[in-house]
Copies of this chain bind each other. A is one copy, B any other.
């Protein structure tokens, strides 16, 4: 893939526990930050329940419209872990024991402990490529552009390192944050003007209330540092004119 190509991804969070509000998802933020760092922009995130038809249908939409899809959740040993079987159905592939995964799990567990439940984690779409798990043995897997990771945040995070060479990103997405002691409405018009003059830079404006400070963070994002710098200058110009204080955040 050409380094100048824009590369995008979707994240698919699979799990009733997120939809019920019981569990606070943090995998989106971890994955998105990591993907950004390797030049992959996240276009869309969906959170869906542990329902096979929903997983199959959603995957078949997302994998068509994105360079990469990352799923988290549903690859453990219990009855509600149906991601591997659903991915098999989405691709029309056999769902079978993955020999290498079986060996890894057999070695990982003590003799006599590799029971039926644990063997379930070796079932995958045929010819899936493994994603190794340095934390707790059970591997994730990928099929074409779909990468399936576990839901437990610490385990998921530990597996990203092993993926680096399998994801081809575009230009890294650069960003710069300018934090100001002001309110959004004070700078809205000037900021609109700067955005109009800098169409290639994505300018976001985010109010913050943090540690007793009230202000606005302006975030500039682009794959071209010189465009960010130019945009930054234009912002600092009106900030200066309005005598607004720049603050650390």
Binding site for B on A (CB under 8 A): 13, 15-26, 28-36, 41-50, 76-80, 115-118, 120-121, 152, 154, 173, 175, 184-189, 191-192, 195, 202-207, 209, 219, 221
Contact = CB atoms under 8 A, between A and B. Distances in A.
21 contacts: A16-B202, A16-B204, A20-B175, A21-B29, A23-B29, A24-B26, A45-B46, A45-B47, A77-B184, A78-B191, A78-B205, A79-B192, A79-B195, A80-B204, A115-B186, A117-B186, A117-B187, A120-B188, A121-B185, A152-B207, A152-B209
A242 to B, nearest CB: 12
A185 B219 contact: no
B117 A184 contact: yes
B19 A45 contact: yes
Given A185-B77, A189-B116, A206 B23 contact: yes
A221 B20 contact: yes
A75 to B, nearest CB: 11
